[in-house]
Amino acid sequence: MSFNARLAERFERIAKILELLGEDKFRVNAHSRAARAVEAQTIDLSTIAGDRKALTAIEGIGPKIADKIAEFASSGRILELDELAGRVPPGLLEIMEIPGLGPKSVAMMWERAGVESLEDLKRIIDDGTILTLPRMGEKSVEKIKKSMAFVAEGNKRLELGVAMPLAELIVAEVEKWPGVERAAFAGSLRRGKETIGDIDVLVATSDMAGASERFAKLPGVVQVLSSGEGKSSVRMRASADLGRWGADSAGPTVQVDLRVIPLDRWGAAMMYFTGSKEHNIRLRERALKRGMTLTEWGLFPNDDDPTPPHKRGIAPIASTAERDVFAALDLAEVPPEIREDRGEIALAEREFAEGKGNGLPRLIEVGDIRAELHAHTTASDGKMSIVELAGEAKRRGFHTIAVTDHSKSSAVAGGLSPERLIEHIGAIHRARKEVEGITILAGSEVDILADGTLDYEDELLAKLDVVVASPHASLSQEPEVATRRLVRAIEHPMVHILGHPTGRLLNRRPGLEPDMREIFRAAKKHDVALEINAHWLRLDLRDTHVKGAIEAGCLIAIDCDVHHPSDYDNLRYGVVTARRGWATQQVCVNAWDAGLLHAWLKRKRHAGNALHSGHV
């Protein structure tokens, strides 16, 4: 685990213990905010831990938090955490992970029933003691038992590529219900986060009771958590076979919440339930400074009455459309993917003041992608021939497809020996005559070996139109070693693209943890594009790395790593990850027109050949 990840984990733990102890809310929020700020950094904070000014320049890190970062970097400990941990049984933090059990309930169980661990909680449930505690009736206890069972089952955050097809199935089904005027998913899924904890579905309907009843009967529902006209919650089985209901599958479960919203409040509700929490806090603060109150029901004039405005029949200033609410706050509309309180509101304010009214710089869209530069055929571990691969790319409107089968070290993936690659290049050239209307490039996904050398000799690499250099093995190297390895590959004059740079797999392996600043510097200097591998198990580069790369002036490639025709559909996950990193069409080589893309590929190839020949 990286320094930043370990540090964020500790700040989050401090926040949870403070909340459990009923400490000042400001301290709780400060540490939660610090955890998010640390997690979002593209640089290893241990490298600037001694620079208090540099640390406090990061939004979300104040002087006291900066001191704790320096303390952790020097000693591997945070004294405040050690002291707080000594005040609560460690098992209470495990109990707080159970859905439906907040800090107040856990603290109450600890104080009144001596619950200090999951075993203690099971004990008071089994002997009935829990029923004597405040707010613990039979229905509440039954929910706790079921939640504990799901936790024991190993329930985890759901990958974007599993959650989104499920959410789309739900929305499509909801839209068929009588009286439904509008339906959509919101939450972290709408923001495109790589993993999600639950799915939020909003619906505007004239049949509130019927919506709740139908929701509980959707295919895939394994548990009804609550049912009401305004909000209903269920646990649903997510199928590993994407695109169908998961009732009979062995996939993980996820909580799905249905919220019924009046159509004229749709915009405000979508903003609220999309989040993020930090973004929403900024918007509410902005509203208050302007004499207004912002809730999920709309933007209202502010007054001293504690009763919510919508319950008093107060008409909202804006509520129907998100853009209307943003405009009433003197902001251009902010795309959902970047609503993370990372500078988007300040920029939206400037854009609105200048009268552009079109939000932040136009972020890249799926329709902008015109080329796939990382794809495999039956020559290695793909399922399509060269002609089939190119035909599918052409059908999807691409002007270029690069055939990049594996190199020889990827034996398990059918990697090509030098002799086979030479034959394969010939086959690619012949295929150009069979598929007109699209450029077919001869390339390879070349393994970056443990020491940073490439898997083919330079003479062979020089025969290729495009080289994607990727790490596949030795993915647990120390950060310093991993950094040197990747930088060496980037510096190779024949390399166009650094493929899935860390080699991570979501929820499966962390991959390499290089110093990304060094990767960005090398990529910028050597004109190498950094890949966002769009497969939903990879999303590598991740969103924070994308933002760092763009800020450093790097080029980005969004590739589907195609093996099967359906892999082209993963493009949207790569694009949403790019959007979360504030990527535009201009920085993405796959979004360039054919002339510009091919000129870049040839420029690097000519420079590489000249360097290899000793002419540079």
pLDDT digits (tens, 9 = 90+) for 84-98: 989 988 888 888 878
CA pair distance 259, 227, nearest whole angstrom: 10
| pLDDT band, very low/low/confident/very high, at 173 (cuts 50, 70, 90) | very high
375: Cβ contacts below 8 Å, ≥ 6 apart: 382, 389, 393, 401, 402, 403, 404, 559, 560, 561, 562, 563
Tokens of 199: 């799915």
Q: Which helix (H) or strand (E) holds 56?
A: helix 52-56
- pLDDT for the residue numbered 579: 98
- pLDDT for the residue numbered 604: 81
Look over the chain and give the mean of its residue pLDDT values, rounded to a whole number: 91
Work out the end-to-end distance of the chain between its first and last CA atoms, rounded to an integer number of angstroms.
Answer: 41
Q: Which of 186, 206, 188, 205 is nearest to 197 (CA)?
A: 188
User: Letter for the amino acid at 113?
Assistant: A
Residue 553 has pLDDT above 90, yes or no: yes
Residue 35 has pLDDT above 80, yes or no: yes
Task: Tell me which range, 48-62, 74-88, 110-124, 186-200, is most confidently predicted by mean pLDDT.
Answer: 186-200
pLDDT in tens, 107-122: 899 999 999 988 899 9
CB burial class (10 A; 0-12, 13-18, 19+) of residue 443? Answer: buried
**Which DSSP state fits 316?**
P
- Average pLDDT of the residues in 223-230: 87
Residue spans of alpha helices (H) in 329-373: 344-353
- Average pLDDT of the residues in 56-65: 91
Cis-peptide into 188, omega within 30 deg: no
Structural domains of the chain ordered from first start = 3-85 (1.10.150.110), 91-152 (1.10.150.20), 158-260 (3.30.460.10), 275-353 (3.30.210.10), 366-379+446-557+565-612 (3.20.20.140)
* Least reliable range by pLDDT among 225-234, 249-258, 406-415, 589-598: 249-258
SS3 call for 46 = helix
Task: Tell me which range, 222-236, 285-299, 300-314, 352-366, is most confidently predicted by mean pLDDT.
Answer: 285-299
Percent of the chain with pLDDT over 70: 94
| pLDDT band, very low/low/confident/very high, at 151 (cuts 50, 70, 90) | low
* Least reliable range by pLDDT among 156-160, 276-280, 562-566: 156-160
Asked if 559 contacts 534 with a C-beta cutoff of 8 angstroms, the reply is: yes
In Å, what is the CA distance from 120 to each residue of 94, 143, 150, 472? 12, 17, 18, 45
Q: Which of 440, 490, 493 is nearest to 469 (CA)?
A: 490
Q: Which of 445, 532, 459 is nearest to 489 (CA)?
A: 445
Residue 613 has pLDDT above 70, yes or no: no
- Average pLDDT of the residues in 17-32: 88
Strand partners, 185: 201
Asked if 445 contacts 470 with a C-beta cutoff of 8 angstroms, the reply is: yes
Strand partners, 449: none
Tokens of 371: 């080329």
| pLDDT band, very low/low/confident/very high, at 614 (cuts 50, 70, 90) | very low
User: Letter for the amino acid at 166?
Assistant: L
- pLDDT for the residue numbered 163: 94
Q: What is the dihedral of CA 324, 329, 334, 340, to 10 degrees?
A: -130
CA pair distance 253, 247, nearest whole angstrom: 10
CA 225 to chain centre: 27
Residue recorded with tokens 């029949």: 313
Asked if 440 contacts 386 with a C-beta cutoff of 8 angstroms, the reply is: yes
Residue 248 has pLDDT above 50, yes or no: no
SS3 call for 219 = coil
| pLDDT band, very low/low/confident/very high, at 514 (cuts 50, 70, 90) | very high
Asked if 35 contacts 13 with a C-beta cutoff of 8 angstroms, the reply is: no
- pLDDT for the residue numbered 360: 73
Asked if 162 contacts 243 with a C-beta cutoff of 8 angstroms, the reply is: no
CA pair distance 586, 126, nearest whole angstrom: 61
Residue 147 has pLDDT above 70, yes or no: yes
| pLDDT band, very low/low/confident/very high, at 616 (cuts 50, 70, 90) | very low
CA 461 to chain centre: 34
451: Cβ contacts below 8 Å, ≥ 6 apart: 485, 488
CA pair distance 505, 321, nearest whole angstrom: 37
- pLDDT for the residue numbered 247: 47
- pLDDT for the residue numbered 305: 80
CA pair distance 303, 167, nearest whole angstrom: 38
566: Cβ contacts below 8 Å, ≥ 6 apart: none
SS3 call for 107 = helix
Residue 2 has pLDDT above 80, yes or no: no
How many other C-beta atoms lie within 10 A of the C-beta of residue 430? 12
Tokens of 446: 């070349």
More confident residue, 309 or 532: 532
- pLDDT for the residue numbered 209: 86
Residue 357 has pLDDT above 70, yes or no: no
Q: What is the dihedral of CA 35, 498, 561, 168, to 10 degrees?
A: 30
User: Letter for the amino acid at 430?
Assistant: R
Backbone angles phi, psi at 298, to 5 degrees: 145, 180
Cβ burial 490-500 (10 Å sphere, 16+ → b, else e): bebbbbbbbbb
DSSP letter string over 395-437? Answer: HTT-SEEEEEEEBTT-GGGTPBPHHHHHHHHHHHHHHTTTSTT
More confident residue, 240 or 188: 188
Residue 3 has pLDDT above 90, yes or no: no
